[in-house]
Amino acid sequence: MKTMQPRPLPTLSLIVLHEARILVRDRTLLLVCCVLALMVGYGLFVGLAQATLRDRMVAQVLKHEQETQTANSGMLQSVLAGQTALIPFSNPANPAAMAGTLSGRYATMLNAPLAALAIGQSDMMPNYYRITYLSKVQFMYDTEIENPWNLLSGHFDLAFVIVFVLPLLVTTLGYNLLSAEREHGTLRLLCSQPLSIATLMTGKVVVRMLALLAIVIPVPLVVLLLIRPEARGAEQLVLMLLWSALVAAYTLFWFAVAALVNTVGLSSSTNALIMVALWTILVLILPVTMNLAVGLVSPAPSRTELANRTRVATAESLREYEDLYSADYRYASDPEALLVKNERIEVPSRMRAFFLAKQKVDERIEPLLKRFDQQLLQQQKLVDRLSLLSPAILINEALTSIAGTDSHRFLAFKDQTEAFHQEWRQYFSPRILESRAMTIRDLSSLPRWHWIEMPASEISWSIWWRVILMLALASVLGSLALARSSRLSIE
């Protein structure tokens, strides 16, 4: 007579259904899912609120810029027609005034369509700069330079729920996958059937994992698709798919950890302590330790050094253009000096000196600023390398990349802003030095800001390799758990 061999798939489906009934009856799964749903909802609410706030800020900035341009155009027409009294420092025909206080452009970085998924660095880094002929030290380096690793701090958001809270909920559901059966005396009974411990453990993991993923993946994506129309594009749908794969891989990793811990053969309470200890090490201690390592290997730029060097460069520029700064205000006694004559205008000496001095400050401070940028870039590269050692950092980096709130995007914005600042200066420099008056045609030809988004292919590739790496880690741990389960004592 032939021995009945267990059929893995039908047996696994029976285990899944049976385990689902048990979890529903004792309300453990329901309670955990409710907690997760509340946290996901609140995290998404905070993310949407922050994204909306930044959208409004950019809209107000652009509205102000448009109103300023309209006012400048009307005032310039009035000045050229001789209908307005001339004021030297607010004369729109004066290119130095237009390059500075009167005009200026705003370099803005719009929110990415999926920005609500992770606040990331958006609460620490500016998403707009006002561009004038002032030194870039005055508008780009006037805030504290932060370590790129501050991705793991800030507002409570959906990324925080996934990185920090989700592993704890996995621990709640997975610390006693096998130990509870052993302690209740049912493991030996189950193993007397044509059922392997590996199949039993896999079924328990499947039902728990599906329950969590059924909340943490579709809920945020459905809400974004309903509330933010810009999230419905093809590229954004691909990023949503990547986001789903990333969250699923991270969840699978922690369930694989739980399964491996259960195969050691310890009690449920000991398993829980081990899981909490692993969470503390991988999610809390390791990121902090690596953060300190980044600071030691590549220290953050010194604000004191930057301030001192800027003061020295400013003082040197003041001395260099001392004659222009102290020139007589001829237009005070001769208002006609401010009139436009043959498309020429007398640029006040003090304004000319101010323009030239700010250029000199940037030229003298540029080597230091480049060193600052190189240090920040080196920090970020180091973070990217060290993220391979911590699942929490790995997942957080990928989540912020999808949301468009990562440091790479802000560094790209900074680089583009610097280029636009240089273009703005180059446009006005010959007009100021040659005393050429501004015309209506000049106003329409002022340099315009255009934000160039990072290539979607580059973002997708940086996320895909993280997904693959996370799945590889989960597969290794899962394979070890299944291998050990075959040798697990059922006593």
pLDDT per residue as tens digits for the range 290-313: 878 777 777 766 667 777 777 888
CA 375 to chain centre: 19
More confident residue, 45 or 11: 45
Alpha-carbon distance 29 to 211, whole Å? 8
Q: Which of 25-39, 72-86, 475-489 has the lowest mean pLDDT?
A: 72-86
- Beta bridge partners of residue 131, listed in sequence order: 105
Enumerate the domain spans of the chain: 14-285+303-365+392-490
Summarised one tens digit per residue, pLDDT across range 92-111 is: 888 888 888 787 789 999 89
CA 484 to chain centre: 40
pLDDT value of position 168:
95
Whole-structure pTM value: 0.85
Structural tokens at position 231: 């999230």
Q: Centre a 10 Å sphere on the Cβ of residue 377 and count the other Cβ atoms it contains.
A: 15
**Proportion of the chain above pLDDT 70, given as a percent:** 89
Instruction: State the amino acid at position 366 in one-letter form.
Output: E
List Cβ neighbours of 33 (8 Å cut-off, separation of 6 or more).
Answer: 211, 212, 215
Report the half-sphere exposure of 416 (CA within 13 A, side-chain side). 20
Q: What is the pLDDT of residue 144?
A: 43
CA 181 – CA 189 distance, rounded (Å): 9
Residue with tokens 């809400």: 223
What are the angstrom distances between the C-alpha of 31 and each of 64, 175, 211, 273, 345? 50, 16, 11, 21, 75
- CA–CA separation, 353 and 347 (whole Å): 10
Contact 383, 393 (CB under 8 A): yes
CB 425 within 8 A of CB 419: no
- Residue 97 to residue 89: CA distance in whole angstroms: 6
